[in-house]
């Protein structure tokens, strides 16, 4: 009798699917259908730990040494399936014990404490190394059959935790490389008279740095972001994509002319101005991980051209007061500089601006126009004991190699959270606007955000062709070529405050940090009211009114397109189009949800 019960129990157990509801056979079948490219996903720092999810693990000294030495190196993380630049991609925000991170305040990162366990956090359970369209189809089928969350992971730069999910199956698309140059690109299905000029088709996994180098070989300029490892045909362009050249040449979303994508129904589709126009529009700002799995994107490029650079620095030990004066000076110059075509980054202790407009970027006159345009800033910096270099370089790659790369290689391995806001030109037009802006700086300073750490990308399409100081504030789909928040086309600045959640912060400390940054987010919204907007790719994941803030009046049309192409909601990520309020308290999003709810109540308590 006893043995019979045991037998029954055992045979039952054998049929009970593994922890997530899928049997080992189902996983094995999936693995076979992706030619063995299904793998268990493990956290990045696992080789340094002797416990994994509470069970014994073997430390791999060589791998661990590499990880500890290069914990903050972006390129290493961008190349691997489990590499997340911002640690909130791999930690479970709501549970400080559920993570596998190292202390990155010193390098090499210290070894974990003896007995510490490397826990899975929000790292997916499995991933597929995507090489073929059938890999994507197999994953979509599997997700449909087992309701298992599916997530797309590319370079891992996301700030919003959209590139990972606890308990999910990840499609790792980084291996979709490939670069093609077109002298005069005709979007597929369009007539010849719709040729778009020179263009580059880049696989979704291709890094921004590789595209810049490839463009230069073809005597062209790619209008790309400020990080060599960001995937330009991935989350960057899908979310909008700003560049230091955007004031003159537009956003990535303004410039992209075609996508190839596998939609959730498993179909390979071409989206451009002649076919699947609605999908094309949604992919130009509606965000990654939402409408399908992008295979490649084709971007317009410009001929090679000289670019002026201004690199102006205050002494690094300057006072906060001086930074406030500096920010005010930059704010006062912004409208003039914006009209002249300058883009770049303003900081509390520096500015690094670039300009491709021929009268400013003039190699023959040694950049005289650039120097005189920047003279007020140069004088301020020199008087404060700082430095100024204003020069013209022969092409963008030279600017990239000299001014961008050195600062962009080792920024990973911290849980950095941003609060950003697009600031309309209106605020720069009169004293009242400048006063409002400076008042904001002082208010957030009191919340713990030092003006010396002020950071502000200048990458809005300010003098770009159809963009639009003249365009109406509210635009619907048919009148607007992209689905980014219309605030982009009226804005000059994208102000940003940020904080780093310490790698080992307790729950109470995380709550304090996220409440502070969310308070700053709300203050930044107040500063601009409905004229402003926020760039979802560089937003606070805990933004309460994210739909309005990130997409403005575009949200409704985006949701309609989401429902058309993904009626079953196979792709769902944190605060992506189609994410519902109920999802915040769902088990699926528990890593973010619990902390979000506590931040919401902390803010309510304060305000009531």
Ligand X SMILES: *[C@@H]1O[C@H](CO)[C@@H](O)[C@H](O)[C@H]1NC(C)=O
Partner from ligand FAD, ligand X, none binding residue 72, C-beta < 5-8 Å depending on class: none
Partner from ligand FAD, ligand X, none binding residue 153, C-beta < 5-8 Å depending on class: ligand FAD
Beta strands in 371-454 (DSSP E): 387-393, 415-424
138 binds ligand X (CB under 6 A): yes
Contact 86, 101 (CB under 8 A): no
Site mask for ligand FAD (CB under 6 A), range 218-237, x = bound: -------xxx--xx--xxx-
Contact 105, 151 (CB under 8 A): no
Q: What is the total count of residues that contact ligand X (CB under 6 A)?
A: 34
Q: Please report, as residue ranges, which positions from 324 to 353 form the binding site for ligand X (by CB under 6 A).
A: none
Q: Which is nearer to ligand FAD, 129 or 371 (CB)?
A: 129
Give the Cα separation of 390 and 372 in Å (integer). 10
Partner from ligand FAD, ligand X, none binding residue 359, C-beta < 5-8 Å depending on class: ligand X
Q: Which is nearer to ligand X, 57 or 195 (CB)?
A: 57
Q: Please report, as residue ranges, which positions from 62 to 91 form the binding site for ligand X (by CB under 6 A).
A: 69-70, 73, 76
- Burial class of residue 37, CB neighbours in 10 A (0-12, 13-18, 19+): middle
367 binds ligand FAD (CB under 6 A): no
Give the Cα separation of 381 and 314 in Å (integer). 5
- How far is residue 471 CA from its own chain's centroid? 27
Give the Cα separation of 422 and 432 in Å (integer). 18
156 binds ligand FAD (CB under 6 A): yes
Helices (H), 384-468: 396-399, 405-408, 431-446
Near ligand FAD by CB under 6 A: residue from 33, 82, 128, 157:
157
Helices (H), 176-244: 208-217, 237-239
Q: Which is nearer to ligand X, 155 or 233 (CB)?
A: 155
288 binds ligand FAD (CB under 6 A): yes
Pairing outcome for strands 126-129 and 169-172: parallel
Helix pair angle (590-607, 507-528), 10° resolution:
60
513 binds ligand X (CB under 6 A): yes
The residues facing 345 across adjacent strands are 352, 457
**How many Å is the Cα radius of gyration of the chain?**
24
Near ligand X by CB under 6 A: residue from 53, 60, 359, 401:
359
Q: Give residue number: closest CB to ligand X.
A: 36
- State the nearest-atom distance from the C-beta of 5 to ligand FAD, in Å: 47
- How far is residue 419 CA from its own chain's centroid? 13
267 binds ligand X (CB under 6 A): no
40 binds ligand X (CB under 6 A): yes
The pair of three-digit structure tokens given for residue 329, joined into one six-digit string? 């000076």
Partner from ligand FAD, ligand X, none binding residue 215, C-beta < 5-8 Å depending on class: none
Which DSSP string do the residues of 142-171 spell out, in sequence order?
A: HHHHH---EEEESS---SSSTT--TT-EEE
- Write the CA distances from 372 to 91, 360, 376, 390, 392, integer angstroms: 48, 9, 8, 10, 13
Near ligand X by CB under 6 A: residue from 469, 506, 585, 601:
506
Instruction: Tell me if residue 99 falls in helix, strand or coil.
Output: coil
419 binds ligand FAD (CB under 6 A): no
Residues that bind ligand FAD (CB under 6 A): 85, 152-159, 162-163, 173, 204, 225-227, 230-231, 234-236, 238-239, 241-242, 288-289, 293-294, 411, 537-538, 573
Residues that bind ligand X (CB under 6 A): 27, 31, 33, 36, 38-40, 69-70, 73, 76, 103, 134, 137-138, 141, 358-359, 362, 364-365, 448, 476, 478-479, 499, 502, 504-506, 509, 512-513, 516
């Amino acid at each position: 009798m006893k043995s019979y019960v045991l037998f029954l129990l055992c045979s039952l157990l054998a049929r009970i699917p593994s922890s997530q509801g899928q049997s080992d056979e189902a996983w094995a079948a999936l693995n076979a259908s992706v030619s063995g490219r299904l793998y268990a996903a493990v956290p990045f720092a696992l080789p340094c730990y002797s416990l994994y999810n509470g069970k014994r693990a073997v430390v791999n000294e060589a791998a661990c040494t590499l990880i500890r030495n290069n914990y903050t190196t972006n390129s290493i993380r961008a190349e691997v399936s489990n590499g997340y630049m911002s640690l909130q991609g791999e930690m479970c925000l709501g549970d400080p014990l559920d993570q596998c991170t190292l202390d990155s305040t010193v390098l090499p990162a210290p070894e974990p404490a003896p007995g510490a366990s490397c826990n899975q956090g929000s790292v997916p359970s499995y991933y597929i190394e995507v090489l073929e369209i059938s890999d994507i189809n197999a994953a979509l089928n599997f997700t449909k059959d087992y309701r298992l969350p599916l997530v797309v992971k590319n370079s891992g730069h996301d700030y919003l935790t959209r590139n990972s999910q606890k308990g999910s199956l990840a499609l790792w698309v980084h291996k979709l490389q490939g670069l093609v140059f077109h002298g005069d690109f005709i979007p597929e299905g369009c007539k010849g008279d719709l040729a778009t000029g020179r263009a580059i088709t880049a696989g979704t996994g291709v890094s921004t740095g590789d595209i810049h180098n490839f463009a230069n070989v073809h005597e062209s300029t790619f209008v790309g972001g400020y990080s060599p490892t960001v995937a330009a045909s991935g989350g960057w362009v899908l979310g909008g994509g700003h560049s230091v050249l955007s004031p003159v040449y537009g956003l990535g979303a303004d410039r992209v002319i075609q996508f190839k994508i596998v939609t959730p129904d498993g179909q390979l589709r071409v989206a451009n101005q002649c076919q699947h126009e609605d999908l094309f529009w949604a992919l130009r700002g509606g965000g990654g991980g939402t409408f399908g799995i992008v295979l490649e994107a084709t971007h317009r490029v410009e001929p090679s051209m000289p670019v002026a650079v201004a690199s102006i620095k205050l002494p690094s030990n300057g006072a906060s007061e001086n930074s406030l004066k500096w920010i005010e000076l930059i704010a006062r110059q912004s409208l003039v500089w914006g009209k002249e075509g300058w883009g770049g980054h303003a900081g509390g202790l520096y500015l690094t601006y670039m300009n491709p407009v021929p009268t400013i970027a003039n190699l023959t006159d040694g950049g005289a126009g650039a120097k005189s345009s920047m003279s007020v800033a140069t004088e301020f910096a020199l008087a404060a004991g700082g430095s100024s270099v204003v020069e013209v370089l022969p092409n963008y790659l030279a600017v990239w190699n000299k001014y961008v790369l050195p600062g962009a290689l080792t920024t990973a391995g911290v849980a950095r959270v941003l609060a950003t806001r697009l600031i309309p030109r209106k605020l720069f037009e009169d004293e009242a606007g400048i006063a409002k802006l400076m008042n904001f700086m002082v208010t957030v300073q009191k919340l713990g955000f030092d003006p010396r750490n002020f950071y502000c990308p200048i990458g809005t399409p300010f003098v770009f062709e159809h963009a639009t100081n003249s365009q109406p504030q509210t635009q619907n789909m048919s009148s607007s070529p992209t689905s980014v928040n219309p605030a982009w086309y009226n804005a000059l600045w994208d102000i940003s405050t940020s904080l780093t959640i310490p790698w080992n912060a307790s729950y109470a400390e995380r709550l304090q940090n996220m409440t502070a940054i969310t308070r700053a987010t709300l203050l930044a919204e107040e500063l601009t009211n409905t004229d402003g907007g926020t760039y979802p790719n560089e937003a606070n994941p805990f933004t309460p009114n994210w739909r309005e803030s990130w997409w403005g009046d575009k949200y409704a049309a985006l949701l309609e397109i989401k429902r058309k192409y993904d009626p079953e909601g196979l792709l769902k990520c944190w605060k992506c189009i189609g994410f519902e309020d109920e999802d915040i308290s769902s088990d699926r999003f528990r890593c973010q949800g619990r902390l979000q709810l506590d931040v919401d109540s902390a803010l309510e308590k304060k305000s009531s």
